Amino acid sequence: ALVVHASTTCDSTDILAPGSFSWHVLSSLTDEVTTFSNGAAATDGAAAGDGVFGISMTTRRASSLQ
């Protein structure tokens, strides 16, 4: 499996929202997409200005499953 974590500081909690066009694109290209805020799931109620927000994506290559 390939796992990518990317994060940055942000003043807004409006990062990659589930159901958005961007979310659908990433979900189509990977097996799993999650967002986080300061090390916790972004859906845990983080407030604007909390600091670090990010995304984690996981994909499993068919050749590695054989």
Rounded CA gap, 52 and 10, in Å?
6
Q: Which helix (H) or strand (E) holds 7?
A: strand 2-10
pLDDT for the residue numbered 39: 60
Distance CA 47, CA 4 (A): 24
- Note the helical H segments in 1-66: 21-29
**Per-residue pLDDT tens for 12-64?**
767 677 888 988 999 999 999 988 887 666 555 545 455 888 889 999 876 55
**Where in the chain are the domains?**
2-65
Q: Are 35 and 46 in contact (CB under 8 A)?
A: no
pLDDT at 49: 53
